[in-house]
């Protein structure tokens, strides 16, 4: 799997930044190539995206979620991927976002795209576009403050 890590500082409070990231259905507004994300339940998402010119769909499971700290996920069907996003307060109005993603390219086109750094570029654009999205809005579009971990959900 190809692994990429990108970090960005966002000029918004920790809770605002975290809350916005929990609004998965809003991801197409700042994630290049993502056409749709549907939240199926507290821990499962259905994704539809264009990856290197091909439309792909997959299911993802949130494996860990701790409010204001981190969200981790892995695909459970379709395009193989996983990741973690971590949130760290820098001060009352600024937050560091660290996104680590891993993706398993399939076929010649994806492997060539991966070799050319397209995946790395997309991850970098995701954090930059997220920063721009939340800073321009000023407030989050919603929030989910539940916890996920060790196969138990706490609301």
* Higher per-residue pLDDT: 65 or 109: 65
Q: For the chain, what is the domain count?
A: 1
Answer yes or no: is 10 within a domain. yes
- The pTM is what? 0.89
Whole domain around residue 100: which residue ranges? Answer: 2-23+63-138
- For residues 75-90, one letter each, b for 16 or more C-beta atoms within 10 angstroms of the residue's C-beta and e for the rest, the string is beeebebbbbbbbbee
- pLDDT single digits (tens) 23-56: 999 999 999 999 999 999 999 999 999 877 789 8
Answer yes or no: is 55 within a domain. no
Q: Are 83 and 99 in contact (CB under 8 A)?
A: yes
pLDDT of residue 152: 47
- pLDDT single digits (tens) 78-92: 888 999 999 999 999
CATH number for the domain harbouring residue 119: 3.30.530.20
């Amino acid at each position: 799997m190809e692994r990429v890590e990108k970090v960005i500082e966002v000029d918004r409070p920790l809770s605002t930044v975290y809350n916005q990231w929990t609004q998965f259905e809003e991801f197409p507004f700042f994630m290049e190539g993502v056409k749709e994300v549907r939240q199926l339940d507290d821990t499962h998402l259905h994704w539809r995206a264009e990856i290197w010119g091909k439309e792909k769909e997959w299911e993802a499971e949130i494996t860990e979620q701790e409010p204001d700290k981190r969200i981790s996920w892995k695909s459970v069907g379709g395009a193989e991927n996983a990741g973690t996003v971590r949130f760290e307060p820098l001060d009352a109005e600024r937050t560091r976002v660290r996104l680590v993603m891993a993706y398993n390219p399939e076929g010649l086109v994806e492997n060539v795209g991966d070799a050319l750094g397209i995946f790395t570029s997309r991850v970098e654009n995701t954090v930059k576009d997220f920063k721009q999205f939340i800073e321009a809005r000023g407030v989050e579009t919603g929030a989910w403050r539940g916890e996920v971990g060790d196969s138990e959900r706490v609301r």
